[in-house]
């Protein structure tokens, strides 16, 4: 999906330097660190429903790490999904997991996205919703006859934007192994999308970049 370009005053060279600084600001680790974009808003009343945000968007260069995807389906869709090597649960298996609080929480924690066969959405919402909602993971409906391979490939490059109680977003935009320019382009795509939802010239308060274990680096807005 293409969004209108948001012409904000952030200098791209300064943004590139912030990405570089965020990487340098973190010690060498024996694992790949994510780089997160932290966005603080102002002047947004979160009590208003239309101010809240729950949206999955695809990044031009992906997040650098493939997210874990769980598909809840049955019949032909379930068979197709299993061939693609992702985690697949039938609605019966999902129901059993949902009855065990510990297993349900472990399953929710282990996956970034839950793709659900459309006609199973009411059942999933009722049985698993209590575990998904509090951590901002919203089940995504998918038609039984849809192109599951194409949808999974899109999700592998996607992130969840979720803002309900506080006017703050923290979004993975890459890793410490990704090219700086690609991370900047991912950031731009997120800001372009947010500009379709909010008036960023007035509602954007501050931006930060940080690696998983590093200190936040403030991005100059002018």
> What pTM value is reported for the model?
0.87
- Share the mean pLDDT of the chain: 91
Class of domain 69-155: alpha beta
Shared fold status for 12-64+157-219 and 69-155: no
Q: Residue 71's closest CA among 126, 3, 21, 139?
A: 139
Please say if the pLDDT value at position 113 is more than 50: yes
Order across the sheet with 140-142: list the strands.
87-89, 69-72, 113-117, 140-142
Please say if the pLDDT value at position 135 is more than 60: yes
Which fold is adopted by the domain 12-64+157-219? Ribulose 1,5 Bisphosphate Carboxylase/Oxygenase (3.30.190)
Please say if the pLDDT value at position 3 is more than 60: no
Please say if the pLDDT value at position 110 is more than 80: yes
Work out the average pLDDT over 31-51.
90
Element (H, E) at 175: strand 168-175
* Residues 6+ away with beta carbon under 8 Å from 192: 3, 4, 5, 6
Please say if the pLDDT value at position 101 is more than 60: yes
Strand-pair category, 53-58 with 217-219: unpaired
Q: Report pLDDT for 104.
A: 96
Give the integer Cα–Cα distance in Å for 161 and 54. 6
Domain boundaries, the chain: 12-64+157-219, 69-155
Give the integer Cα–Cα distance in Å for 172 and 29. 18
Q: Report pLDDT for 8.
A: 53
């Amino acid at each position: 999906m293409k969004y209108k370009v948001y012409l904000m005053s952030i200098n791209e060279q300064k943004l590139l330097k912030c990405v570089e600084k965020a990487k340098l600001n973190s010690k060498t680790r024996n694992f790949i660190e994510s780089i997160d974009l932290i966005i603080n808003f102002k002047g947004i009343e979160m009590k208003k429903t239309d101010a809240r945000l729950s949206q999955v968007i695809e990044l031009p260069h992906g997040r650098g790490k493939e997210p874990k995807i769980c598909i809840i389906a049955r019949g032909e869709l379930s068979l197709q999904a299993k061939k693609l090597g992702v985690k697949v649960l039938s609605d019966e298996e999902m129901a059993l997991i949902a009855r065990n609080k510990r297993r349900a929480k472990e399953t929710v924690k282990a996956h970034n996205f839950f793709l659900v066969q459309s006609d199973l959405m009411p059942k999933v919402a009722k049985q698993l919703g209590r575990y998904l909602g509090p951590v901002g993971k919203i089940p995504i409906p998918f038609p039984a006859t849809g192109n599951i391979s194409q949808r999974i490939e899109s999700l592998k490059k996607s992130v969840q934007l979720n803002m309900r109680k506080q006017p703050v977003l923290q979004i993975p935009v890459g890793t410490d192994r990704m090219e700086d320019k690609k991370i900047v382009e991912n950031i731009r795509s997120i800001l372009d999308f947010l500009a379709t939802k909010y008036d960023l010239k007035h509602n954007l308060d501050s931006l930060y970049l940080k690696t998983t274990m590093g200190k936040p680096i403030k991005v100059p807005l002018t």
